[in-house]
Amino acid sequence: MTADTIAAPRSPRAAVRRKGPNLEKAGWLYMRISGLALIILIFGHLFVNLMVGDGIHGIDFAFVAGKFASPFWQWWDVLMLWLALIHGANGMRTIVNDYVTHAKIRRVLVWALWLSAGFLIVLGTLVVFTFDPCLGLTEDSVAWLQEVCA
Ligand code: HEM
């Protein structure tokens, strides 16, 4: 038997490349880039909230109200919210795609992931940008809040 009588090995299947943007590649890149940004955002958040000043003992309504009064911390928190939720949802999408073999259940779960992430992003963004400490003002509120809102 000579080499030319041996059946050619099966040629590898050509990679399927659909037209349009490569969303899987974008998702892969997003996980890495958002991961790097999240290291700075999350550890910055933990450092400022837990280590600076009175640390964890200083966290109360006034602390949160003070942070949300500053556009810098509003954008810090919103960026963390958006990046982490999209990162988490996309990561869970990968896991669902890997483990859920039933096509219909897979589609429902992936839709549920994006819907819940979208809902939380809208809700969280509204909370950060519309936060008003005076809306919670009652007769029992602490004196400083009554003074600020007077
Ligand atoms: C310190 C910040 C973070 C870094 C550096 C980071 C980095 C990464 C990277 C590089 C991947 C891709 C792994 C792969 O494709 O094999 C990944 C996957 C994932 N991340 Fe993060 N991440 C961070 C924070 C988060 C947060 C806050 C969440 C949740 C909201 C999260 C949830 C996930 C999930 C669910 C996956 C998919 C895991 C898998 O494919 O097995 N990560 N992360």
Task: Tell me the per-residue pLDDT of 112-124, one tens digit each, with 9 for 90 and over.
Answer: 999 999 999 999 9
Count of other CB atoms within 10 angstroms of residue 34: 20
Which pLDDT score, from 0 to 100, does residue 2 have?
A: 64
Which pLDDT score, from 0 to 100, does residue 1 have?
A: 54
**135: which 2 tokens?**
């809306």
Q: Which residue has the higher pLDDT, 29 or 13?
A: 29
Under a CB-based contact definition with an 8 Å cutoff, are residues 112 and 70 in contact? no
17 assigned to some structural domain: no
- For residue 6, CA distances in Å to 2, 10, 11, 22, 69 come to 7, 12, 14, 39, 76
Under a CB-based contact definition with an 8 Å cutoff, are residues 31 and 90 in contact? yes
Q: Which domain holds residue 130?
A: 23-149
6 assigned to some structural domain: no
8 assigned to some structural domain: no
Q: Name the closest-CA residue to atom 4, ligand 1.
A: 35
What's the structural domain count of the chain? 1
Which pLDDT score, from 0 to 100, does residue 117 have?
A: 98
**Cα(68) to centroid(ligand 1), Å:** 27
Task: Tell me the per-residue pLDDT of 30-80, one tens digit each, with 9 for 90 and over.
Answer: 999 999 999 999 999 999 999 998 899 999 888 999 999 999 999 999 999
* CB of residue 26 inside a 6 A radius of ligand 1: no
**Cα(35) to centroid(ligand 1), Å:** 7
For residue 106, the domain's CATH number is: 1.20.1300.10
Which pLDDT score, from 0 to 100, does residue 133 have?
A: 86
Mean pLDDT value of segment 136-140: 80
